[in-house]
Structure 1
Amino acid sequence: MHGPPRIPRLFLATALAVAATGANAEPALQAAKPKRVVKPVPVPSSQHSAPAKSAKSAKAGEAVRDREIPFSVADTVALALRNNRTIRSASIDRIAQKFDLRVVEDRFTPQFGVSGGAIRQRIAGIDTSSYTVTPGVTTLLPTGAIVSFSWADQASDTLGVRSRRSAGLLSVSQPLLRGAGSDVTLAPMRSARLGERINQLRLKATVSETIGQVIFAYRELLRAQEELRIAQASVGRAETLIDINRALIAAGRMAEVDIVQTEADLENQRIRVLEASRSLDNSRIQLLNLLALDLATPAVARESITPARVTTNLPDLMRIALAQRPDYLGQLNAVEQSKLGIVVAQNERLWDLSVFGTGSLGRTSITGPLATSAGITDVTVGLVFNAPLNDLRREQPYIQATTGLQNAEVQLETIRQGVEVQIRNSATDIDIRWRQLEVARRARELAARAVEIEKEKLKVGRSANYQVRALENDLRSAENQQLGAAIGYLNALTLLDVQLGTTLDTWHIALRD
């Protein structure tokens, strides 16, 4: 298993269940009252009663759709990678982090430099001029030895007497105990490389979590859109019920006062439409804010909320999580860093013992009345040591490094168990949410069928307004419940993807670091 499969992008089927016909209920009614046959009351079509209004509404709807900008989940993820401020800030931080690694890795590169100066002075009426130029190079060897070479060129002129000294100086210092050996010398560079890997994993975690937040915000926009559609459908059904009531009143089979409650229910449904519109605007603004886009952008979610079932296998999920989770992998690197710290700290406890050698080769000369010239050949070798006997400060780094390693290992176990808790909870949540979605679909279908049956019964005088209104409320609740179950299931899959650390793989994202 390579992470949760991509959810197929299909448009949600918005058609309600096929309404039950009056003929289906007629035999039972005839059995109860065989001598009474009531013909359904014809309901006037709202399209024929108000053609001008319908045409105007249709044109307004087309104008709104022309201004809409459809967004898919893939579009949203792409925009987040390009515009999201959190991701951009994390990418900017990587510039300094990579340069820090470059500085540490440069410690074995020979360092070149030039020093010198020029002086002209008058003391007691005597003019003196002098200059010094000293180019040099210093390098650190993996053994801990420091090798340096410089060439000093010095000259002065005092009352016509010119002197010059030009000589090269080579020096070597090799520690034998403290600071000696490639394990100690290379430890800072190895630790920096582990730190770079941790920084890369943190960037991956930041991008994954941000993408997850953007997808959740996108789904909230999708939920708000569907809630508005459900609210508008409820208004349409309430208007149809009023048309039925008016037809029954015109036929003399319903008292005129009985329509009042239906009209009040219609106004309540219109209030719900307004509330759904406000929620839709809020959800759109939240998504646009995460995408760092103009908040007035008429973004519309165009994605399926008909999910496919994803089976979960806990052992496979744990294997993927422990191989992909940035926090777990980062802590593994932190443990290795702590081990390197112990190597360095143990070495710090040793005495300072070094051998050194210097050699100078060159010539010095003086021009003037006392002209002389001589060669320079100097060699020096030696051994130096420093042996503190009771300095507890030399033990302090080792104690700190040891406790640091123990804490890092404890933190690693904590993260591992935390990962298992999250994966187990998510796997259970996904399975339960799928079953909830299946039940919600069936409940919505039955509620829609019940409404249509009750309307047909109302037309033939075998039901009452309050029964239809009650079933309408049940249908609206069932539709919202199905919507919530579908969005919850999709969000649970997205959350599992983030928890597995496979979000970038799922969306085929390769971080260019």
Structure 2
Amino acid sequence: MCAAAGRRKNLDLQGDRKVKRQIRSMRGKLTCLGFVLGWIAFAVSGHSAEEEPAGKAQLQESLLWGDRWLVRDVTDYQRLSLGQCIRVALVNNLDIRSQRDALRSAEQDLRSARNFFDLKGTFSAEHRQDVYTPSVETGSVVVYDPVLQQYVTTAARTAVIDDDVTTLSLPVTQHIKTGGSITASPYLQESDYQRNQWASGINLGIRQPLLDGFGYDVSTADLRRTRLGLRRSEQSLDGAARVLVVQVVQDYYGILRTQKILEEQQEALQRAQSLLRAAQIRKEEGEVAELDVLRAELQVAQSENALIATRNTLRSRLTGFQLRLGVSPQQAVGIQAKEVEFEPTELHFDQLVDFALRHRHDLKNQELSLEQSRISLLTAKNRNLPNLDLTASYRFYDSHDDLDKVWDVDQGSVSLGVIFSMPLGDVSDDVLLQKARIGVDQAESALESLRREVISDIDNAVRQIETLENQIEVLQKNVEIAQEGFRLSQLSYEVGGLISSFDLAKAQEDLTSARTTYIAALIDYQIALAQLDLARGLDLVSLIEARAGTPLQ
């Protein structure tokens, strides 16, 4: 009994030692896992700084995205106001839709670039069968003899080895902001050679560049370039929308000018027909010669010909306007006529230039392009450094013929290493560096050139407006003089016959020309104001409200 008690005590002590070893092993594993998880948390802590701009949601809900509420009040496409024309174009214009698609594509590029810093893994399952030829000598093995009901050792022999191996693995990788990466590769393997054999383990690895590829600026270069590309796409869409607004304004006023000229020509035709009737009556009474009647008939024919040409011009402008608005070719369009008013504008050149240099979308776009070029230069410089990587790995594993016991993984190994490499005779990285420097110089030159072009645009727009203001004052007086001249000429012709029908026709032409020129100047003035708003970089909403004359609801 004492011997049995001693054996039980020894077994208890052995069990306690085994439990303690398992506890120590588990503590070590948890400590290692906590270290790895802490490093991962630190490594990805800067990822939130790469969030999309806060104004993105506002852009999606704004005019840039052509929300359907913009055209909810458009019911009669043949009587469109200027504001309605602008909103219809922003919703339906095909070029703007293409710009929106480009922006959506840039968003997907950013999504792909950001995914580089996301935790990624691959689940894989593999089954293979290994068959060795009979020439392989197995040596002596331990097998179970069912007759003797015990394990026996066999003699050395050669035999065909047939082994089925099944492996499940889930390697995961986390790229970190210092330029390195952390990998974890857990696996489970079953082999039925002789009898079922299970193996499990996990490999933890860390790789950190110390020269080429080192640092936050280098590791996030592609992500930052892609973010800048997204902002450039946003600026391009914004700029295309502003240009479209001004184009719609130009087309709208072009149609309005043609309609006004058509009205003047219709009045001129009526005056010419009235003159012809008067000439025919006076010829029958013997007061004028046949030549006066012929001149009056010629005036009527010329007025009719001008009217036909203007009507054709109007149809052509309306067809082009359909394309600009992006509506169906079967959808007839027209504009709601409005009176063109003239109100002089006070302009301050220096203020306009300062505003334009801060708000022009093409300047912002070029500044973003310059920033992209500088990032490319940074990465090109880094690529010219030699490769020096620090590596570390920790592996713990175990194998057993019992699946429940294979998870103990009480075996492990640690390795540390340094990898150095430097290309010899390869000039490709240096070529990329020189090209990146040239790219920065080109981007800086393009930016400076664009700034000068902005100043020139403002100067041209201001001079155009000032010229039209002076012309409008003179043309308004010309209309008054032409109206009075035609009234006196008509009176002289009808009452006393003091002038010929040729002189009266000339007075009528002068009146028609004065009126059409005055109308054209008024409309050109409105177009010039829109071009100035575009040149100084007025934002889209303000541009629409200023040109349409009504606030957006």
Same fold (TM over 0.5): yes
String of CA shifts for 1:222-245, please: whole Å, max 9, x gaps.
121112111101011112223433
Question: Hey, what's the Cα distance between the residues in 2 that align with 1:267 and 1:391?
Answer: 81
Question: Hey, what's the Cα distance between the residues in 2 that align with 1:117 and 1:151?
Answer: 14
| Alignment of structure 1 residues 406-485 onto 2, 5 Å | 406-461=441-496, 462-485=498-521
Counterpart position of 2:19: none
String of CA shifts for 1:52-104, please: whole Å, max 9, x gaps.
xxxxxxxxxxxxxxx98211111110110111110011111211111101211
Computing the radius of gyration from Cα coordinates, the structure with the larger value is: 2
Question: Hey, what's the Cα distance between the residues in 1 that align with 2:298 and 2:216?
Answer: 85
RMSD over aligned CA atoms reads 2.4
Q: Give 2:94's match in structure 1, choosing from 85, 100, 107.
A: 85
Q: Give 1:188's match in structure 2, choosing from 222, 242, 245.
A: 222
In 2 relative to 1, CA 463–107 (structure 1 residues): closer, same or farther, beyond 3 Å? same
In 2 relative to 1, CA 153–467 (structure 1 residues): closer, same or farther, beyond 3 Å? same
Q: Give 2:111's match in structure 1, choosing from 78, 102, 116.
A: 102
CA contact (8 A) 1:164 1:365 kept: yes
Percent identity over paired residues: 25
Gaps of 5+ in 2: 1-75, 134-159, 547-553
1:224 counterpart letter in structure 2: T
Counterpart position of 2:235: 201
Question: Hey, what's the Cα distance between the residues in 1 that align with 2:337 and 2:128?
Answer: 78
> Is 1:271 aligned to residue 305 of structure 2?
yes
Counterpart position of 2:154: none
> Is 1:289 aligned to residue 298 of structure 2?
no
Question: Hey, what's the Cα distance between the residues in 1 that align with 2:377 and 2:413?
Answer: 41
CA contact (8 A) 1:71 1:300 kept: yes
Question: Hey, what's the Cα distance between the residues in 2 that align with 1:260 and 1:355?
Answer: 103
CA contact (8 A) 2:200 2:409 kept: no
Counterpart position of 1:326: 361
Question: Hey, what's the Cα distance between the residues in 2 that align with 1:179 and 1:74?
Answer: 53
Question: Hey, what's the Cα distance between the residues in 2 that align with 1:298 and 1:183?
Answer: 54
- Number of residue pairs matched by the alignment: 439
| Alignment of structure 1 residues 138-287 onto 2, 5 Å | 138-158=173-193, 160-249=194-283, 252-255=286-289, 258-287=292-321
Q: Give 1:340's match in structure 2, choosing from 365, 370, 375.
A: 375
- Quote the offset at 1:248 in angstroms: 3.6
- Quote the offset at 1:347 in angstroms: 1.6
String of CA shifts for 1:308-359, please: whole Å, max 9, x gaps.
2222211111112111211111111122222222222222122211211111
Question: Hey, what's the Cα distance between the residues in 2 that align with 1:308 and 1:228?
Answer: 25
String of CA shifts for 1:346-389, please: whole Å, max 9, x gaps.
22122211211111112112479xx9x98431111111111346
Counterpart position of 1:132: 167
The alignment partner of 2:207 has SS state of strand
Counterpart position of 1:315: 350
1:119 counterpart letter in structure 2: R
Gaps of 5+ in 1: 1-66
CA contact (8 A) 1:73 1:303 kept: no
Q: TM-score, normalised by structure 2?
A: 0.75
CA contact (8 A) 1:165 1:364 kept: yes
Q: TM-score, normalised by structure 1?
A: 0.80
Q: Which has the higher contact order (CA 8 A, sep 6+)?
A: 1
The alignment partner of 1:69 has SS state of coil
- Quote the offset at 1:121 in angstroms: 6.4
